[in-house]
A and B are shown apart, each in its own frame.
Chain A
Amino acid sequence: MLSGWFVALVASAYVGLLFAVARYGDARADAGRSIISGNVYALSLAVYCTSWTFYGSVGRATSGGLSFLTIYIGPTLMLLFVGVLIKMLRISKTYRITSIADFIASRYGKSQLLAGLVTVIAVIGIVPYIALQLKAVSASLAVLFGQVDAGVLPWWLDSTLLIAAALALFTVLFGTRHLDATERHEGMVAAIAFESVVKLVAFLAVGLFVTYGMFGGLADVFQRAAAVPELSRLLQLDAMQAGSWASLILLSALAIILLPRQFQIIVVENVDESHLRRAVWLFPLYLLLINIFVLPIALGGLLHFGAQSGYADTFVLTLPMAHGAEALAVLVFIGGLSAATGMVIVETIALSTMVCNDLVMPWLLRSTWINAQKRNDLSGLLIGIRRVAIILILLLGYIYFRVAGEAYALVGIGLISFAAVAQFAPVLFGGMYWKQGTRAGAVAGLVAGFVVWMYTLLLPSFAKSGWIGNGFVEHGLFGVDWLRAQSLFGLRGMDAISHSLWWSLLANFGAYVVVSLNTRPDALEAGQAERFVDVFRRAHRETDSLLWRGQASLGELVRLLERFLGPVRAAQQLGAYAAMRGVDNWQRLAVDADLVQFAEGELAGAIGSASARVMVASVTQEEDLGLEEVLDILDEATQVRAYSKELEAKQQALEVATAELREANERLRELDRMKDDFISTVTHELRTPLTSIRALSEMLHEDPRADLADRKRFLGIIVSEAERLTRLINQILDMAKLESGRAEWTTAEVDLGNVAREAMDSLGQLYRDKDVALSGEIPDSGPVVMADRDRLVQVMINLLSNAVKFVATGTGAVKVTVSTDAGMVRVSVADNGPGLTADECSVIFEKFRQGGNTMTDKPQGTGLGLPISRQIVEYFGGALWVESQPGAGANFIFTVPLPAADE
């Protein structure tokens, strides 16, 4: 048996370690080197796993099999909707939200009523849950000492109270460091993350011990359980649970955001939105790991102690102890302690903020006493209130634990708590995405949901504990049958939690929507609705300033800040604000709407948005903007936004158009340049033959006594030059017609083989004159294409006459091939001349560019034949190109598409 002193020592050492971690975290934060990383953030979310998980899951598994997993699958799915979380984070940071009560109240016109209502629901729902944690610690101690009083403590002091006191001390020290509740408690978060690691390690250790130490592995546990009829049903899911399975997933998905401690950790303590990227998978992974061995431990316990054995919730402790593994039992106890303390610490911080800001402050601000002390610094008082609230909440939890004992009202509180906070879902999510939700609707929804929850879940749990009569559960209220608390209106076949969740959310949602649609929001509500729903889209500062009109004095505002923040912090914040506005001294700040907004924001961080609104209103003379006016302003802002977006789009379109125009202009200039080039080339080409004609004519004119032979020779040259000139002019005209699209085309069936033969015949004499071999590989008839016959003959003749010009006399050979290939007729004219370089292959298709060296050789053609041929072939949908290498001859190829079949 473990000694009481030893356990006390270990527990104290552990709590001491927590203090050290928290101290270190705070010290690092103060030094500006935060230790809160994505991993720490994700681990701190595991404050979700309380002792209800650590001890209770095994208990649930012994009765419900795998259904305990729903409590962890829900959060996994919820976190994946990261957009919702980011929106919550953004809203909370922008408007300095301090708690979930503040969030809801702020959305619905900074309503003190709503803030108080949410706080009351949270306190009623959560305090028993805190009691459950204390009970878990107490129960684990009892198991550790084997139900024997270890005799360490005097009778009036029990160990649970000591633990509660230590927790109160921790929370007071690390949870209320700053007055500004929106400021983060990094030390506390670090300690929570540390606790998460401890409880996971402890649980995995006991899981491995049971599964692999006591049994022969997972398969062994499952097989031995399957052999026992009562246990084998735990190994399968019952389709009858379908409804409760789904509703438990929904319930836990809501709880992961709506439980005050989860809201505190996820939203208020968040340092950086990007940490969500890690949390979105690391936290679910944590949940998965901590659940893997739950069922094996449950089965192991049942196998070991027998199915009727007492208290399954403490199997994680009793199993190691039954095997003498006392060190492991102590580790498990520490794990359970960390699960309980983590929850209690964060929950008390969250609740104390809510109680202080949303219950005590509104009352205090109305009391005469506080107004009498108008000049006093209230920041100390505020911190004091929060500390007292922490101690009271813990004390309340402790008292509930002592009073309730083994009652069902305590044991079953886990899910009852979840169902209580689930009532926040319609007003919270509705508020984030639905502008029409009003304060009246939110109050109606919350009250309706809370009443139904109380009647169908909380009061029956009291009845089950024997604290009140259970007539309303058995027979219905006043004996009215359809009012039976756990089968309202005769709804049966569900477990109590699903039943309550279904009815309460129905009432809640219905009342919220119906009342919202039938009430008109006031100006403040409409403004807040706009700010929350459109948080991503708004340049909020400008519109926010538009929504406040009135008069204020700098002195009054500063006094207000000093009163609630303390003079030091007020000066510090004012200085930072002045720097942001570009004013060197805050005493010279202009008193405008923006300054009032700033002051209200600072106050909201300290005392909640609802109280901050009241305080700012009390020192300023505000013009009451009517709802119509607010809607107009918001509408205008929306329109301005729409216009500026439109303007932006138009500007972009304009830029695109400008770029296009610039490009077109560039192209036009290029064309202009090309036209100039063309004209100068054409005149040059025309002048060459003209010059020789003129020179020879002059010689004949001036020398009448020239030889007949000379005269004949000169006249021959003149005639041939004149012919060349004519040809040139004809081709230029042809080219111009083709390019301008005014050429006349006749389209008919043309036998390309025939065309090739005709062209070869007409040039036969030329080839024979130069002694060049001309051969053909042409089908006897066809192929037939749709084209202009004369034009194709022109192309053939051009190619053949080019070829003959470039081959050598005597050894030259030219071959014409006509074939069909993939829907195209392919005609090639191959020669064995000097060939072309790669450059020349593209250049020769440009106008007035010829093969050979035009500088030294006499030009052999007009330089327009190939460009014209290419235009013709392309007109009929074909292509003309050359394949050649220097020294290897040239192969000119053109294609013409075959007509499509059946057309």
Chain B
Amino acid sequence: MRQRLAAIGLAGWPLLTFPLLGLPEGNVGGIPMIYLYLFGVWGGLIGLAAWIGERKG
């Protein structure tokens, strides 16, 4: 479990820093893409961590 969580942490760093953050542009349904991207990726990491953290064993 520790390794899996750490792997998510390591993957999160490049996903939530530049230069990848320079990619999302424009709007989706009036909401800036970057706003959706940041909260989406962040939420995704949390979801993964919850899935791994709460599994049995």
Contact = CB atoms under 8 A, between A and B. Distances in A.
A32 interface: no
Contacts of A236: 25, 32, 34
B34 A66 contact: yes
A281 B50 contact: yes
A239 B49 contact: no
Contact of A278 (B5, B18, B42, B53): B53
B17 A242 contact: yes
Contact of A80 (B5, B29, B30, B54): B5
Interface in A200-248: 218-220, 222-223, 226, 235-237, 239, 241-242, 245-246
Given A80-B5, A222-B27, A280 B43 contact: no
A277 interface: yes
Contact-residue size bin, chain A (C-beta under 8 Å from the other chain): 35 or more
Given A236-B32, A280-B5, A288-B46, A73 B16 contact: yes
A295 interface: yes
Task: Identify the interface centre among B13, B25, B27: most chain A CB within 10 Å of its CB.
Answer: B13
A237 B2 contact: no
A9 interface: no
Contact of B35 (A80, A83, A239, A295): A295
A288 B39 contact: yes
Contacts of B12: 73, 76-77, 80
A277 B39 CA distance: 22
Interface residues of B, number: 34
B38 A66 contact: yes
Contacts, number: 104
A236 B39 CA distance: 14
Task: Identify the interface centre among B19, B22, B42: most chain A CB within 10 Å of its CB.
Answer: B42
A83 B31 contact: no
Contact of B53 (A76, A220, A280, A295): A280
A73 B42 CA distance: 8
A284 B9 contact: no
Given A83-B6, A219-B30, A236-B34, A280 B19 contact: no
Nearest to B43: A288
Contacts of B1: 82, 277
Please report whether the interface of chain B is mostly helix, strand, loop or mixed according to DSSP.
helix
A311 interface: no
A298 interface: no
B16 to A, nearest CB: 5
Contacts of B9: 77-78, 80-81
A237 B21 contact: yes
A249 B31 contact: no
A69 interface: yes
Contacts of B38: 66, 69
A86 B34 contact: no
Contacts of B49: 80, 280-281, 284
A86 B35 contact: no
Given A219-B29, A280-B53, A237 B42 contact: no
A235 B35 contact: yes
Nearest to B48: A281
Contacts of B45: 76-77, 80, 284
A222 B46 contact: no
B18 to A, nearest CB: 4
A834 to B, nearest CB: 59
A246 B35 CA distance: 17
A288 B31 contact: no
A218 to B, nearest CB: 6
A288 B42 contact: yes
Interface in A270-284: 277-278, 280-282, 284
16 contacts: A73-B12, A76-B45, A77-B16, A80-B5, A80-B49, A86-B2, A236-B34, A237-B22, A239-B22, A242-B17, A242-B19, A278-B53, A281-B50, A282-B50, A285-B50, A288-B46
Given A76-B46, A80-B9, 12 more contacts: A73-B12, A76-B12, A76-B42, A77-B13, A80-B5, A82-B2, A82-B6, A235-B32, A239-B18, A278-B54, A280-B49, A288-B39
Interface of A: 66, 69, 73, 76-78, 80-83, 86, 218-220, 222-223, 226, 235-237, 239, 241-242, 245-246, 249, 277-278, 280-282, 284-285, 288, 292, 295
The 7 closest A-B pairs by CB, nearest first: A219-B30, A80-B9, A242-B18, A281-B50, A83-B2, A281-B49, A277-B53
